[in-house]
Chain A
Amino acid sequence: MRALLRTVGELSVTAGLILMLFCAYLLWGTGAYTQSQQLLLQRELEERNAGRLARIELGEAVALLRIPKLGRGYRYAVVEGVDAEHLKKGPGHDPASAPPGKVGNFVVSGHRTTYAAPFNRLDELERDDEIIVEAREARYTYRVTSQDIVEPDEVEVLAPVPGKPDIRPIRAFITLSTCHPEYSAAQRLIVYGVLKKTELRKE
């Protein structure tokens, strides 16, 4: 009986330690994969800047995302696609939404706590903060207009005019989404922006 109890106790303690280790893996271990993929994607962007306008396939780099408010070194290559495999590589562009800088809504989703947590500090963005999207053909500077917390099925926020699915867009918007609250899938944190400036790349 004592031996049995001891074994059960030891197994329980072991299970607890493994769970803690798993949490550490989720928070920090997953980021290693993202960082290695980001190196590849960012190199892909640099090489492609030769001006070739080929179609961007799922899993390829769309543009470089910079948010000065979140630090001078804040830069992530945005990957095409919002499936789990794409979001592991970095913030993902919803292929059903507009391309960067074009009239409509450029929708980008990113992890908040795992896989290097690119959108961890999205909640710090305020009105008039800049979101810079460096695409192949131009550098687009968006201005943050507002922030919202929505339910996971409120797809209206992804509409060409965010929140107004019935209206045809005449401006270029950006919508960033991530999970809310942190460590939860209960809701989504949304940051809206509108295009402020376009600087074409020199050939």
Chain B
Amino acid sequence: MYGWIWRKLPGGTGAKAAWAVVLSAVAVAVLWYAVFPLLEPAVTLDEVTVRR
């Protein structure tokens, strides 16, 4: 999968590496700011109230 993406990236090795860094950063940002906040309520490792 990553080999296939690497081959699709344009330019020489340097440019490919730069693209790889940018794409990874975008993926992390989307996860951190969009996906994780949606998933977080499903994780109940920090339930703090006492209730019936």
Contact = CB atoms under 8 A, between A and B. Distances in A.
B45 to A, nearest CB: 5
Interface string B9-52: 00000000000000000001001100010011101111111111
Which bracket fits the contact residues of B? 20 to 34
Q: Give the dominant DSSP class at B's interface.
A: loop
B19 to A, nearest CB: 18
Given A10-B1, A18-B31, A21-B28, A110 B48 contact: yes
A11 interface: yes
B30 to A, nearest CB: 11
Interface centre among B1, B28, B31, B52 (most CB of A within 10 A): B1
Given A10-B1, A185-B47, A26 B40 contact: yes
Nearest to A184: B45
Given A25-B31, A114-B45, A188-B48, 12 more contacts: A6-B1, A7-B1, A10-B2, A21-B31, A25-B36, A110-B48, A114-B40, A114-B46, A155-B52, A177-B48, A179-B47, A183-B46
